[in-house]
Amino acid sequence: MKYILVTGGVISGIGKGIIASSIGTILKSCGLRVTAIKIDPYINIDAGTFSPYEHGEVFVLNDGGEVDLDLGNYERFLDINLYKDNNITTGKIYQHVINKERRGDFLGKTVQVVPHITDAVQEWVMNQAMVPVDGHKEEPQICVIEPSATGEQKTKPTQNSVRALRGLGLSPDLIVCRSSTPIEMAVKEKISMFCHVNPEQVICIHDVSSTYRVPVLLEEQGIVKYFKERLDLPIGDSANNLLFKWRNMADRYERLQKTCSIALVGKYTKLRDCYASVFKALEHSALAINHKLNLMYIDSIDLEHSTEAEDPVRFHEAWQKLCKADGVLVPGGFGIRGTLGKLQAISWARSKKIPFLGVCLGMQLAVIEFARNCLNLKDADSTEFEPNASFPVVIDMPEHNPGNMGGTMRLGIRRTVFKTENSILRKLYGDVPFVEERHRHRYEVNPSLIKQFEQSDLSFVGQDVDGERMEIIELANHPYFVGVQFHPEFSSRPMKPSPPYLGLLLAATGNLNAFLQQGCKLSSSDRYSDASDDSFSEPRIAELEIS
């Protein structure tokens, strides 16, 4: 097992997660099995109870782990499935050591930070690094570790960061410099001289049009050859077909001409990281159909009548955005704030036949909106918002016994069974009898009421294996009105877009029917087309499967 640590001491949020993911992608493209671990300093056991405005999106893994959003980058770039133990927190380590002490594992010794906590971190990393993550059940060969770190091309911060690292007894093998523009050779040589590394050990990554370009930039600067020599890796001096596909994908992204506008109506729109996976899933799907994504973030409160009275300009600007959108997405969330605005956006999409996708809470609100405006059940509501609702369309159905806030949700991968062959989403998934997607929710559509909806064209085409939990809705006589209780964005990959999101983008660009008529077949070509043609008379979707 070889370990690669990606750390940084200049500022937080400068791109260490993307660098770590890109390094892993390059090494995987060389035929190596790669895993990744993120180490966070906070005392929380996991990210499950964080406010989105604190740390951005909570990413959910197959095993139900609620983790840092950087693990989402690792999974998307490397096309792997990580586990909750791939995200280490101070809280997890201390809880692990204290539990051992309570069991008497330390035989009465005084438990201290050194050596017990430090040993626990090392033991955890070494054990988790050996866990297969790519579906082949083979142990990884490389583990990329990212310890969390709490304008002009300045070199002083870099020097101070390296000095602090050396103070811990560590010397960097590579220094990756992030900048807005390509770094001048004089700056690179100065970093080399003052940080005591060779010039070829200074890697420069400037701002690029998309993160898909980062692995390509790293490979062009000889990083494969360096890793091969430094770690004695059994690889050639260059990457294989996978990186060639990444390069083509980055080239295609930069050449896109046609645009598709999607309105994301949510309550956490002030911080884009709150919807990081949703944005990526939309981007993956847009790229697959040769369109540039124009994602318009709309604060759902701005669509409400209370905003019209308080701030008419903001109200009208929000509605102008919604009216200009080719498609509407209402993502997951918690709490009553902003739900009226989301309901109005859903009503607009349904009545005006604008393509719509509702995810988790977005699906539940679509059911509530339909009940109120199509079934004339004006008191229809969710018990999350109104515990004593006279017509509870959405109810609390905990999968586990209620207890601490961190253990009451339905989390992780679950199976959804299609109840009919006449389903748009079933066709988009490849006409399979069931799918397995990740969940993160407490509330469900009330199963005792579904007959009233299905008599009025709203069908529950997907349910759990017991037929008790409603997983997928589809509205008849609409271009694309779909809701899913699960979070398909967590499984989307750059070369394998999520089917519900792909369906939204296809419908928003007017290509869904043609795609369905062709049997939802993706091109068998290994090449990415540079065309920005809308026509689906021949398969135009890029090769999306990594061979």
Q: Which residues pair with 328 in a beta bridge?
A: 263, 356
Give the Cα separation of 89 and 94 in Å (integer).
9
DSSP annotation of 360 = T
Q: Cβ of 45: how many Cβ atoms within 10 Å?
A: 16
Q: How many Cα atoms within 13 Å fall on the side-chain side of residue 387?
A: 0
Q: Are strands 458-463 and 410-418 parallel, antiparallel or unpaired?
A: antiparallel
Say how far apart CA 468 and CA 410 lie, in whole Å: 14
Considering 146, 444, 489, 543, which one is annotated as catalytic? Answer: 489
Reduced DSSP (H G I as helix, E B as strand, rest coil) percent helix, strand, coil of the chain, to 5: 40, 20, 40
Task: Give the amino acid at 171.
Answer: S
Beta-bridge partner residues of 175: 202
Joined tokens for residue 481? 């009105």
What the block records as the tokens of 407 is 């253990």
Tell me if residue 199 falls in helix, strand or coil: helix
> 228: which 2 tokens?
């091969």
Which residues are CB-neighbours of 536 under 8 A, at least 6 positions away? 511, 514, 515, 518
Active-site choice (283, 487, 520, 543): 487
Q: Is 487 a catalytic residue?
A: yes
Euclidean distance between the first and the last CA atom of the chain, given in angstroms as a whole number: 25
Measured CA to CA, the distance from residue 214 to residue 22 in angstroms comes to 6
The CA distance from 42 to 65, in Å, is 16
| C-alpha to C-alpha distances, 132 to 136, 412, 510, nearest whole angstrom | 7, 18, 41
Q: Residues 410-434, buried b or exposed e (16+ Cβ, 10 A)?
A: bbbbbebbbbeeebbbbbbbeeeee
- Alpha-carbon distance of 90 to 46, in angstroms, equals 10
Bridge-based pairing state of the strands 458-463 and 470-475: antiparallel
Residues 6 or more apart in contact with residue 414 via CB below 8 angstroms: 436, 437, 438, 439, 464, 486
H-state helical runs in 30-155: 52-55, 70-78, 90-103, 118-129
Record the tokens describing residue 201, joined without a space: 């050990």
Report the distance separating Cα 396 and Cα 131, nearest Å.
35
Residue-wise DSSP of 1-47: -EEEE----S-TTSSHHHHHHHHHHHHHHTT--EEEEEEE--SSSSS
Catalytic residue among 195, 204, 360, 520: 360
> Residue 211 class from Cβ within 10 Å (0-12 exposed, 13-18 middle, 19+ buried)?
buried
State yes or no: is 520 an active-site residue. Answer: no
Q: CA of 262: how far to CAs of 196, 279, 355, 356, 393, in Å?
A: 49, 10, 9, 9, 28
Cis peptide before 132 (omega within 30 of 0): no
The residues assigned a catalytic role are 360, 487, 489
